[in-house]
Structure 1
Amino acid sequence: MELVAVDGLSSRLNVIRSFSDMSEPDELNALVRQLRPRLRNVIGTTIGKGGEGKTTVTANLAYVLAQAEKERADQGLPAKPVLYIELDSNGNGRLNFGVRGLPFDDNGLSFVDALTDDKEFQVVEGVRPYLDMVMSGSHNADIPTAVTKLHDKHGVASYLLLAILLAQISHKYRWILLDFSPGDKMIQRLGLAACTHLLAPMKGSDNAVIEGLGTLASLVRQIRRLNSEVSIASLVFLGYQRRNDEPTSQLINLREKIGLLLDQAGITREVLVDAYIRDGETTANLARNHGMPAGEFAQAAAGLLVDDETGEPVERPRDENGRLVDPQRAVDIATDYTHVAKQVIERIRHRNQELQEADAA
C-alpha cells in the first residue's frame, strides 16, 4: 500500500465560486452537461434508512470488481483499478479492508481538505490488487458545514463539489464506488450529484425498508437539476435465508411488494436483480473483524490465502471462541457477492449504453 497524491487537478472551489443564487440556469446546465459523461463509472450506495449494510455491500463489491480487473491484467488484457470512497464520518469501510489505524489513516482529514479547500487529493493505492481507497473518518463530519457555507454564497452549484473532483480523476479508474450515509442530507446531495448509478441495499422486510426506498426516490427527484442521469440501477438484498438454494417466502414476498411500488413509480423491475446475499451476519462480522472482504476471507478460511510479502499461507481465521471458521459458509457468502456484482454491472453497462446512445441522438 502507498499513499499517493493525485497530480494535475484544477481548482474545484473556483468553479463553485463562479456561481450564485442569481446565476442563469443555462450556466449551471452547461456545467452539468460537461460533467455527466465523465461520471458514468461512478456508483453510489445509499438508502433512506440506516442499518441496511451499505458499507458492507459497497466494500465487498469494490473488492469483487477489483479482483475482476486483476484477472484481466493476469490475462494480458487492459485493466484499471477500482476506487472506494466512503463519505460517512464513521469510516467503517476501513475495517473491511483492515486499514484503520495504519500510518496513512488520518480519519479523513486530507480528503476533507481536498474536497472543501482545494488541498492535495490523496489516494491509498494497492489496498488490494487493483483496489485504491480514500481515507475517511471523523473529519468527514466537517463536510456538511463547509458545503453549507458555500451554499449560502453560491447556491445549489455547491452540491457539485464532489462531482467536479471525481470528473477529473474518473479516467484513471474502471469504477468509482461511493458509500454515503442516509443520516445527513448534505452528504447525500454531494453523493447523488456525483454518481450516475445507485445501489440501494435492503435488509429485512418491515415497512421501514419500503419507507427508506421512498426516501431515496424523493432525494433523487430533488437532485435532478444537478444530475439528470442518476437512477437506481439495482436493489441489493442481503441477509435473507436460502433453502435448497432458493429464496424463502420472506424475500419473494418483499420483492413482489417492492415490484408493485416500482410499477406505480414507472421504474423498471429490472432493478430487482435475481442474485442476493444470503443470511450470514456472523460470517460477515468475522470477516470485518479480521479486516477482510468476503472473498478474501473465504480464501483464508479455506487455507488458500497467501501472504504477499512472505509467500506463506495466511493462518486460517478463527471465531471469538477460537474455533476455525467454517470455510463453506464463507465461500457461500463470497460467491453471493460475486453473483450480485456480475448482475449489477450488467445493469450498469446497459444503462451506460443507453446514455451514450442518447448523447449521439
Structure 2
Amino acid sequence: MRGSRSRDEEFWENVLERLHAARRKLTRVVILLNGKGGTGKTTCTANFSAVLAQVATESGSAKRVLAMEFDPQGNLKSEFGQMGKPGDDDGKSILAAVMGTAPLAPMREVRPHLDLLPSGEQLRRVVRNLAPANEHERVELWLSFAEALAEIADEYEWILVDCPPGDEALQKLAMAVARWIVIPTVFDKASRYGLEQVGHLLQDPDVDRFNEDVDVLGVLMFAFERREARAIKDDTGEIVDQKEVGQRSRLRRALEEDLARGGSPAPVFQTVISNSRVVGETCRELGMVAYELADSVQSPQWPQLRKELAGTLGGLVSITDTTAEALAADYEQAVQEIFGRALKEEAVNS
C-alpha cells in the first residue's frame, strides 16, 4: 500500500523515473578523472575532443563533440585559446543547469564540430550548493544537471568532461552523468592513490544508486619517456611491436595489479602519451592542441611564430616537426583505442 512506503522510497522512485529518460541520452559521456592533479586530465580532454571533432568533420557527421570543464581553474578553455572570448561565462551555464534555472549554453564551434562548456569561478557556487546539501537536495541537483545535459545530448556524438583533482562535490556531479571513466595517471604513488579514490567514489551509496551504469573504461599512462619503449622489428626491419622498459614497464605492472585487486576488468591502455614538455608548453601558450601545433611547425609561418613565442616565453622554442607529429600521433592512437573500446562495450551491452 502507498501509506506503507517511506518518504525516502517515494523520493527515489520519482528520481529514478525521471532519470530513466535522461539516462538513455547519456550513453556516451566520458569523464577524465583522477584524485591527483597534474595527471593530464585537462590536456587529454582537450586533445581527445579535438581529434574526435576532426574525425566528425572529415566524415561529414551531423553530430558534434562537446567538451565540458568541471574545474574552477578554467584551464580547459585556455587549452583551446578561449579564455575571455565571447561565450566564456566562467561556468554560469553549468551553475544555472545545476540549479534548474536555465538550459546549458555551450560556446559553439570553438573548433569545427566542437563545442565547449567553459568553467571558472561560478563553479565555486556549484560547490557551495552541493557540499552542504543533504542527500535528497544533492540528488535533486544532480538530476537537474542530468536532465539539462540530456536535453542537448542528441546534438553530440561524444561528451567529454574534465574533472577537478580534489573537489569531491564536482567529481560526484560528473559521475552522476557519466557512462565511462578514463583515469589518466603519471608515475608516482600519489597518482595511483588518485586511482584508489575513483574506486571509493564508485562505491559511494548515492552515486551508485543514482547512476549504476557508470564504470571505469580504462587507465591511461601519461607523460612517459618515449625512449622507454623499444621497437621490436620483424626480419624485414618493419616495426611490429614494442617492449616497455624502466618506469613505463614498472607502472604498467603496478596499475594492472591495482585493477586486478579491485576486481575491475578495465585495462591499462596500450597507448601511452609521451612526455614532451616543450610541446605542451607551446600548445598552451598558443591555445592549440597537439595536431594543430604539428601542422603549424610544418607551415611556412612557423619561423615567424617561433620568434614571437621567444618573446613571450623568454627564449627560443626548440620543436622539430618529428617531435610535434609524434605527440599528435599519441593522442590520435589513444582516441582510437579508448573510444573504440567504448563502442565495443556499447555493442555488447545493447
TM-score computed with the length of structure 1 as normaliser = 0.83
User: 1:92-241, aligned counterparts within 5 Å?
Assistant: 92-148=75-131, 151=134, 154=137, 156-204=139-187, 206-222=188-204, 223-241=207-225
Letter of the structure 2 residue corresponding to residue 219 of structure 1: L
CA contact 1:58–1:179 (8 Å) conserved in 2: yes
Bigger mean CA offset, 116-125 vs 217-226 = 116-125
Letter of the structure 2 residue corresponding to residue 295 of structure 1: Y
Per-residue CA shift, 1:4-35, capped at 9, x if unaligned? Answer: xxxxxxxxxxxxxxxx7563443333333333
The one of 324, 334, 340 equivalent to 1:330 is 324
Separation in structure 2 between the aligned mates of residue 31 and residue 259 of structure 1, nearest angstrom: 38
Alpha-carbon RMSD across the aligned residues, in angstroms, is 2.3
* Match status 1:46 vs 2:42: no
In structure 2, the residue corresponding to 1:122 is in which secondary structure? coil
Report deviation, 1:304: 7.2
Report deviation, 1:39: 0.6
Change (3 A) 1:62 1:21: same
Separation in structure 2 between the aligned mates of residue 323 and residue 85 of structure 1, nearest angstrom: 30
Report deviation, 1:181: 0.9
Change (3 A) 1:58 1:295: same
Per-residue CA shift, 1:178-198, capped at 9, x if unaligned? Answer: 111121111011100101011
Change (3 A) 1:125 1:103: closer
CA contact 1:160–1:190 (8 Å) conserved in 2: no
CA contact 1:300–1:315 (8 Å) conserved in 2: no
Separation in structure 2 between the aligned mates of residue 340 and residue 188 of structure 1, nearest angstrom: 23
What corresponds to 1:341 in structure 2?
Answer: 335
The one of 34, 45, 51 equivalent to 1:58 is 45
Per-residue CA shift, 1:28-59, capped at 9, x if unaligned? Answer: 33333333221111111111211211101111
In structure 2, the residue corresponding to 1:49 is in which secondary structure? coil
Report deviation, 1:150: 5.5
Bigger mean CA offset, 290-299 vs 155-164 = 155-164
Bigger mean CA offset, 179-188 vs 332-341 = 179-188
TM-score computed with the length of structure 2 as normaliser = 0.86
Separation in structure 1 between the aligned mates of residue 62 and residue 9 of structure 2, nearest angstrom: 44
Letter of the structure 2 residue corresponding to residue 250 of structure 1: Q
What corresponds to 1:289 in structure 2?
Answer: 285
Separation in structure 2 between the aligned mates of residue 25 and residue 111 of structure 1, nearest angstrom: 24
Separation in structure 2 between the aligned mates of residue 155 and residue 324 of structure 1, nearest angstrom: 49
Report deviation, 1:105: 2.1
The one of 240, 248, 262 equivalent to 2:259 is 262
CA contact 1:180–1:191 (8 Å) conserved in 2: yes
Letter of the structure 2 residue corresponding to residue 249 of structure 1: G
Separation in structure 1 between the aligned mates of residue 79 and residue 142 of structure 2, nearest angstrom: 28
What corresponds to 2:298 in structure 1?
Answer: 302
- Unaligned ranges ≥5, structure 1: 1-19, 306-312, 357-361
Change (3 A) 1:154 1:137: closer
Separation in structure 2 between the aligned mates of residue 267 and residue 104 of structure 1, nearest angstrom: 40
CA contact 1:303–1:315 (8 Å) conserved in 2: no
Change (3 A) 1:342 1:111: same
- Unaligned ranges ≥5, structure 2: 1-6, 232-241
CA contact 1:88–1:141 (8 Å) conserved in 2: no
Change (3 A) 1:335 1:218: same
* Match status 1:252 vs 2:249: yes
Letter of the structure 2 residue corresponding to residue 116 of structure 1: M
* Match status 1:274 vs 2:270: yes
Letter of the structure 1 residue corresponding to residue 197 of structure 2: T
Per-residue CA shift, 1:214-241, capped at 9, x if unaligned? Answer: 1101101211111111111021111111
